[in-house]
Structure 1
Amino acid sequence: MTELSLAYIFKQQQLLVDEHFQLPQVEKLNSDISFYSSDQVIARDLHIEEAIPEGYQLVPIRQLISQWSRVQFEQASRAVQLLEWRRNHKFCSHCGTETEAHASQYAMICPACNYHQYPRVQPCVITIITRGKDEILLAKNAKNQSKMYGLIAGFVEVGETLEQAVERETMEEIGLNLTNIQYLASQPWPFPSNLMIAFKAEYASGDIVLQQDEISDAQFFKFDALPEIPFAGSIAHAMIQHVIHNTPMPD
């Protein structure tokens, strides 16, 4: 009898699920990436010639955040990041030889020079800024066509501490100085392979000056008069709820 495995089958940033947002079960192929082997879970891309099975649909991963538990979403995050890494490391970055997958580790090995290429995670800081006892800073991304406002976020640069990245991103994007920077939590974020590291901070000084190519608007909003904010399940949403309603941050 053929053994079936739970499968994360992706087409770009969309995942194959049924009408109840449950994963399919498929026969394992040699090209699949296996992980959580004790639970028989695999991950692979939807092949070009494959039709979407009856009763299944491709759903954007972001949409599943509100449908799944945190553990389920983190497994999907790991799957899509591993596939992206494997897709982008088919050849050795040192000598150009075609690489081979390690039998038991997440590593692509060069048979010519033995260079090991491991998955890379890009650290990003995301910060909720308070002013007084009842205001938070929310900003609108210049590339976002919706009405949603979010938090200040950006990549950590080489040689920076996380706190320095918080200060720099805030100054660059909205021109404000901060004080009392404190770590809150973190969340894997597979768009494409990020680790979101959450901080809270207090407004210290300065006037809002927008980095026009990044931010189209930024304002301090009263707790009881917020615009549209990020969806539940995102770390930004959890941060806002934590500050306004004193709810705990995810572990």
Structure 2
Amino acid sequence: MMKKVPSHQLKQGAARWLIFSRSKLLVASGDTQPPVTDASSLPFLAAYQQDVYQLTPLEAHLQEEQPTFVVDMGAEAVDSDEWEEVSLRNVLMNTPVGAFSVVGRAWQYVHFLRTHRFCGQCGSAMHKIDWEMAMQCQQCQHRCYPRVSPCIIVAIHDNERILLARGVRHRETNMYSTLAGFVESGESLEQAVHREVFEEVGVRVKNLQYFGSQPWPFPHSLMVGYLAEYDGGNIVCDEHEIDDAQWFSLDALPDTPPKLSIAGQLIDAVIKQLS
């Protein structure tokens, strides 16, 4: 969770600073990593001293080398050549796995606080609860927690081939990846795999094998990965979601996601399994 930090505690040495401006992260010019420094090196934060949060480790027993402070500047920006805003995706793709988790979790909390300022039940102002990550309405007592949206992601193989697709949004990058989609209400993860695969590329799958999961902060997904075998059908792309889908030989793969992502890990698992 995140807890507010009294201003006098911000002078206690170096910390990792996750400073969000709009939907981007503030870093030193030419860098791709959040700054690790003391508060005195960030004079532009003077206006936000009452809105600094500390991100606590998911494992409460772990001790961090330095604390992680989170600041949301909203729509404001820093007018300085020493700092620049970089996309969250760019930061995440250039960080170690551990830092990926920290930055992603901080952004999901910031997004939650931004989008739950008012009660969805009665419209009154919401207030953050001190002892857990939640917003509560003092008028009707409605309480909200950060949203987590489960998504399935699946690598489909057939003997020595793997089915990969290029999404409509990735047409310009020409990157092919595994199939993925949100789980619908009342649906099991396995049902979602079968439905999404058939809807997006028109084929059937069998012998689902759970692979693993990964939080994906765009903006609040939890990717649940599977391996699956091809069970029939011809590729017919959903033109609203998929620009192209093909069977690829394992020794002639197109551009694919990095192994930092679960999509890249699934592709690598298929290669190892079929080699």
The answer, yes or no, to whether TM exceeds 0.5 is yes
**1:21 aligned to 10, 14, 33, which one?**
33
Native 8 Å contact 1:65 1:234 kept in 2: no
1:11-160 equivalence runs, <5 A:
11-18=21-28, 19=31, 21-25=33-37, 26=39, 29-36=49-56, 39=64, 40-51=67-78, 53-132=80-159, 134-144=160-170, 145-160=172-187
Native 8 Å contact 1:188 1:194 kept in 2: yes
Q: Which runs of 5+ in 1 are unaligned?
A: 247-251
Instruction: Name the CA distance, whole Å, in 1 between partners of 2:21 and 2:174.
Output: 28
CA displacement at 1:142 relative to structure 2: 1.6
Instruction: Name the CA distance, whole Å, in 2 between partners of 1:211 and 1:180.
Output: 24
Instruction: Name the CA distance, whole Å, in 2 between partners of 1:85 and 1:33.
Output: 14
Native 8 Å contact 1:99 1:108 kept in 2: yes
Identical columns (%)? 36
Instruction: Name the CA distance, whole Å, in 1 between partners of 2:176 and 2:261.
Output: 13
Distance 1:20 1:203, change over 3 A: closer
Instruction: Name the CA distance, whole Å, in 2 between partners of 1:85 and 1:10.
Output: 13
Distance 1:16 1:44, change over 3 A: same
Number of corresponding residues: 246
Native 8 Å contact 1:17 1:24 kept in 2: no
CA displacement at 1:33 relative to structure 2: 3.2
TM-score normalised according to structure 1 size? 0.90
Distance 1:245 1:63, change over 3 A: farther
Native 8 Å contact 2:92 2:103 kept in 1: no
Greater than 6 Å deviation, 4+ residue runs: none
Q: Which runs of 5+ in 2 are unaligned?
A: 1-7, 40-44, 58-62
Instruction: Name the CA distance, whole Å, in 2 between partners of 1:16 and 1:58.
Output: 5
Aligned to 1:165: 192
Where 2:239 maps in the other structure, the secondary structure is coil
1:9 maps onto 2:36 in alignment? no
Deviation digits for residues 141-174 of structure 1, max 9, x if unmatched? 1232221111110000001110000000000001
More helix by share: 2
